[in-house]
Amino acid sequence: MAVQLPDLKVIREEFSESLKQVRRVIVCAGTGCVANGSLKVYAQLEAQLHKSGLPVVLELRREDKVADSSVFVSKSGCQGFCQMGPLVTILPENIFYTRVKPADAEEIVNKTLMKGEVIQRLLYVEPSSGKSCTTPKEIPFYQKQHRFVLKECGQIDPEDIREYIYRGGYEAAGRVVCSMRPQEVCDLMIAAGLRGRGGGGFPTGKKWDITLRQKGDKKYVICNGDEGDPGAFMDRSVMEGNPHSVIEGMMIAAKAIGADEGYVYVRAEYPLAVRRMRKAAEDARKLGVLGKNIFASGFNFDLQVMEGAGAFVCGEETALMASIEGKRGMPSPKPPFPAQSGLWGKPTVINNVETLATVPLIVLMGAADYTKMGTSGSCGTKTFALTGHVVNTGLIEVPFGSTLRQIVYEIAGGVTAEDGTVCSELFKAVQIGGPSGGCLTREHLDIPMDFDSLRKVGAMIGSGGLVVMNSQTCMVSIARFFMQFTQNESCGKCVLCREGTKQMLALLDDIIEGRATDETLVILEDLAKAVQVGSLCGLGKTAPNPVLSTLRYFHDEYQAHVKYKYCPAGRCKALTKYKINPDLCKGCSLCGKKCPVNAISGQPGKPYVIDQKICIKCGACVATCKFKAIIGGGQ
């Protein structure tokens, strides 16, 4: 029998009563913390609690009577502060421990849980002030964010549907399914100004409205969880940390367009996300909020969780649909668009994970309040995967319109050198949007981070990857890295993408290996523009973006490589010249003995010299010299 809306209220009340009787320990079990050993921390906490004699609860079940002194140990999805993991939070005090090891479990149980003492060495220490932060609210990394879509990801147990319902889950879907007409749902999303978070920024409500107007008795909803950008993990974290929010968003989308079937397409490289999405769907089905006659409304909707084919191009919607159909994941020309003829030729709506997870929140809060966040043209918030040369890396969420300066210097804590020291002057660029995006430089630090502002400077939000680079980064090598990625991931269907990316990669190789001429740069730019215009799908059309943006903002660096055969950052091995500083050289001869090609010569006690014609630039001499007399990277 389907669950009625009042039954969701009963579940909320029962779960709330259970929580009141326990003290809670939350161990972050997102992929990053799991990789750092958080599951071992969880196991040790459980073992130490049993050893201490405290009553332990690992699952709040309706039929169990929970003692007031019980400790409820649960896992959460990604809490965002990945660099400081494994993370452990203790409620109700909201004590936040960082870099917790299994060996710390005994002390946490004996001191914090039994005596109420805070373990100072496990607290986060703010580098600039030296202040120890007991709660997340005291940490600038969290203070400067607005965690809207990610709010529950680091708090709830993603594998317990009752906790999702306790936090208001499926209330929005119940309201939409039982009391709203499809057109009203589309109009609500249009009024909210929700734009797709997968990169293109197309208005979600408009996409739904177009699909609704298509004739046919069979339509589909697809969640695009094929997140493949290097360094991006926003969608993965939402699926791991709050999978029911994605399912609820799909239910609302289904009601809006008249679909009764859906697919969640997840990268096979995300096994934890796949497992949690499947469990969430199974639990929702058992409870009666997914499947036939949901909420006793006469509306049917069910979904399947499908593992992706492992190809970056399958993130493109037509290639994704081909993969679901059992074909090779290759894009198709548009029109027709999926809204007109999508999966198996039927009208189909495709939204990415973050977009769908935002939908229930809009239904609950209303379009008017939602539009108060962000900017007029880019409403709401955006999640970013923050990596690179910064103090704090991890998963963040900020309102659209926030500046790059706020993200880099306030949330990320500033730019770091190779040795980890912080210096604001080291900032060089940010690659935004992965291989489909472009570079932002120092002159862009104060522009609003929204769809339209970034498009004007030749960049794009993309799926939300942010890679911060310091002054010791070679921008030509960065462009080559992304070109290598897109060339490898090209499906090969259209000539311009298949051959164009291959030739662009070869030209970039010529530049960093010292074979390029002035004509190389001209050919590279012309070819990039041709690939951008003539490619069939989004992969090919955006593949030249990193090249074009670095050519635009770092042309002098390209010129140094081409004209002077010199890498300003000292990163391109073929252009590196090692020299011995005669003022520092003690003539100890160690470098000459270590050189594998005998390129270093001299007399003991006198400065040695390097023969540039023989030197293979292996760096063995630099590693050997005790006096730091050998320098490389300049002329």
Domain ranges of the chain: 7-139, 161-370, 381-473, 476-563, 576-631
Please, what CATH class does the domain formed by 7-139 belong to?
alpha beta
Q: At what angle do helices 475-489 and 545-553 cross, to 10 degrees?
A: 170
Please choose, from the candidates 448, 318, 427, the residue with its C-alpha nearest in 3D space to the C-alpha of residue 377.
448
Beta-carbon neighbour count of residue 65 at 10 Å?
Answer: 8
Please choose, from the candidates 224, 303, 227, 301, the residue with its C-alpha nearest in 3D space to the C-alpha of residue 263.
303
Q: State the pLDDT at residue 2.
A: 44
- Mean pLDDT by runs of 10 across the 635 residues of the chain is 62 85 91 94 94 81 64 93 94 95 96 94 90 94 94 93 94 95 97 90 95 95 89 89 97 97 93 96 93 91 91 87 92 91 96 96 97 94 93 94 94 88 89 85 93 86 87 93 90 89 95 93 95 88 91 94 89 86 93 94 93 87 91 61
Please, what CATH class does the domain formed by 576-631 belong to?
alpha beta
Q: State the pLDDT at residue 236.
A: 92
Give the side-chain half-sphere CA count within 13 A for 192: 26
DSSP label at residue 340: T
Amino acid at 166: Y
What string of H, E and C letters represents the secondary structure of 142-168?
Answer: HHCCCCCCCCCCCCCCCCCHHHHHHCC
Instruction: Classify domain 381-473 by CATH number.
Output: 3.10.20.600
Q: State the pLDDT at residue 9.
A: 86
How far, in Å, CA of 201 to CA of 377, rounded?
10
In sequence order, the 6+-apart residues with CB closer than 8 A to the CB of 443 are none
DSSP label at residue 403: B
Q: State the pLDDT at residue 22.
A: 84
How far, in Å, CA of 266 to CA of 275, rounded?
10
Q: Is 161-370 in CATH node 3.40.50.11540?
A: yes
Amino acid at 491: C
Q: Return the structure tokens found at 531.
A: 């690939």
Task: List helix spans (H) across 420-494.
Answer: 451-456, 475-489
Architecture per CATH, 476-563 = Up-down Bundle (1.20)
In sequence order, the 6+-apart residues with CB closer than 8 A to the CB of 395 are 78, 80, 82, 150, 233, 234, 237, 383, 384, 385, 386
